[in-house]
């Protein structure tokens, strides 16, 4: 699916992708969603004589298909379908969103079989740190699934330390499906696609700044409750859109664009610490917030920033004003969500019900 877009105010490809990523990985091409649900075969019509046996076979096949369908649904949804009672081995593991795709953030909710002093997990070569929520007697940990992740079943390897100091562990298999992302073809002036030597030097310096900023994250949870949209406005471009600039694949849109005029107040999506507030070549004036547990939100192309590095902010607090600075074709707000080096779909994060 490819559609030509009117060249309105939007990002013209902020350089937030690792360089290796720019060589069009084949896994990211937009495809029809994987057929996860088995189809019940039709056509074995129940015709006149001698069809009783066939009828029974058909009934058995239908029953089998229905059971398979129910099993697959339950597996895809994790355990949120069965909130009551303990899961296998006394562990109850739930997650949001119920159906996971590549590019999605995920929050795991774990009720272990014993009182724990700490809980962590391994997930796709990442470490997840969990925080205990006394209100729900459960542990919560935010994680993500990179866009490059192939549809498959992945293990969530949990490790808990009991209050008596012994270690308990549990592995839960989690299904990941293929997300649906669009493609757009954009034609831009050459100066946008081929930076000058001076611009390249600036980009190289920015890279060092960003690497340093992203290293300074704190695993301690700072986010509290639901993430909220930073502006009240229409979404002008979604996450995951593949962009072809002047016929060449150049970037994947790694955030969510809001159509806002210059000077619109932009607020923090959740509580956190300011890691960076300043200008970068592609991002323009930007604010990077650390919400703990490896989760960051980024606010790009601002006309003005209202916070400084090190500031603690509350969810909903004004952090800047929207603009069109950096590599943008006009005023808009680009919101990005980053978890342990992986860009995730902000729209999904904004829909999670969090304690
Ligand atoms: Zn954008």
Q: What spacing in Å lies between the alpha carbon of 129 and ligand 1's midpoint?
A: 29
> Could you identify the residue written with the tokens 């592609």?
282
pLDDT digits 0-9 by tens, 269-297: 999 999 999 999 999 999 999 999 999 99
* pLDDT band at residue 252 using 50, 70 and 90 as cut-offs: confident
Q: What spacing in Å lies between the alpha carbon of 342 and ligand 1's midpoint?
A: 16
The encoded tokens of residue 207 equal 């890279």
CATH of 88-177, one of 3.30.930.10, 3.40.50.1000, 2.60.40.420, 2.60.40.10: 2.60.40.10
Distance between CA atoms of 84 and 71, rounded to whole angstroms?
Answer: 18
User: Which of 105, 174, 173, 175 lies closest to 143, judged by CA?
Assistant: 105
What number of other Cβ atoms are within 10 A of residue 199's Cβ?
13
pLDDT, position 259: 97
Q: What is the pTM of this model?
A: 0.76
Q: What spacing in Å lies between the alpha carbon of 258 and ligand 1's midpoint?
A: 8
Least confident among 73-87, 192-206, 219-233: 73-87
Q: What spacing in Å lies between the alpha carbon of 103 and ligand 1's midpoint?
A: 15
Q: What spacing in Å lies between the alpha carbon of 151 and ligand 1's midpoint?
A: 26
Each domain of the chain, given as residue ranges in start order, spans 10-77, 88-177, 183-351
User: Which of 118, 119, 94 lies closest to 107, judged by CA?
Assistant: 94
Q: What is the mean pLDDT of residues 188-195?
A: 68
Per-chain mean pLDDT for the chain? 80
Query: Which positions ≥6 away from 160 have C-beta within 8 Å?
Result: 112, 114, 116, 118, 119, 120, 167, 168, 169
The encoded tokens of residue 218 equal 């704190």
Q: Report the top-level CATH class of 183-351.
A: mainly beta
pLDDT digits 0-9 by tens, 322-354: 999 998 889 999 999 999 999 999 999 999 999
Residue 183 vs residue 5, higher pLDDT:
183
Distance between CA atoms of 267 and 321, rounded to whole angstroms?
Answer: 9
Least confident among 216-225, 267-276, 309-318: 216-225
Q: What spacing in Å lies between the alpha carbon of 286 and ligand 1's midpoint?
A: 12
Q: What spacing in Å lies between the alpha carbon of 201 and ligand 1's midpoint?
A: 23
Q: What spacing in Å lies between the alpha carbon of 226 and ligand 1's midpoint?
A: 22
The H or E element that residue 305 is part of is: strand 304-305
């Amino acid at each position: 699916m490819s559609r030509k877009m009117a060249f309105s105010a939007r990002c013209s490809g902020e350089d937030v992708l690792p360089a290796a990523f720019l060589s069009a990985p084949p896994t990211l091409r937009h495809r029809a969603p994987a057929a996860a649900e088995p189809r019940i075969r039709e056509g074995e019509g129940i015709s006149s004589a001698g069809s009783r046996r066939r009828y029974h076979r058909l009934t058995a096949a239908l029953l089998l298909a229905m059971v398979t369908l129910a099993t697959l649904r339950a597996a895809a949804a994790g355990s949120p379908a069965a909130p009551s009672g303990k899961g296998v081995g006394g562990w109850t593991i739930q997650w949001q969103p119920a159906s996971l795709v590549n590019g999605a953030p995920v929050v795991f909710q774990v009720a272990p079989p014993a009182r724990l002093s700490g809980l962590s997990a391994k997930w796709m070569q990442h470490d997840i740190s969990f925080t205990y929520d006394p209100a729900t007697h459960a542990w919560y940990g935010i994680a993500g699934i990179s866009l490059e992740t192939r549809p498959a079943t992945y293990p969530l390897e949990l490790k808990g330390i009991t209050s008596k100091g012994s270690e308990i562990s549990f592995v839960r298999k989690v299904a990941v499906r293929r997300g649906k992302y669009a493609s757009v073809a954009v034609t831009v002036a050459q100066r946008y696609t081929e930076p000058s030597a001076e611009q390249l030097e600036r980009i190289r310096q920015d890279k060092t700044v960003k690497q340093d900023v992203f290293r300074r994250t704190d695993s301690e949870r700072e986010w509290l409750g639901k993430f909220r949209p930073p502006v009240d406005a229409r979404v002008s471009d979604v996450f995951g859109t593949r962009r072809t600039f002047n016929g060449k694949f150049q970037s994947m849109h790694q955030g969510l664009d809001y159509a806002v005029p210059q000077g619109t107040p932009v607020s923090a999506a959740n509580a956190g610490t300011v890691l960076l507030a300043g200008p970068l070549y592609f991002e323009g004036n930007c604010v990077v917030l650390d919400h703990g547990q490896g989760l960051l939100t980024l606010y790009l192309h601002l006309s003005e920033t209202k916070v400084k590095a090190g500031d603690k902010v509350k969810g909903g607090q004004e952090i800047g004003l929207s603009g069109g600075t950096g590599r943008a074709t006009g005023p808009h707000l680009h919101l990005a969500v980053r978890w342990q080096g992986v860009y995730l779909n902000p729209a999904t994060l904004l829909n999670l019900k969090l304690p």
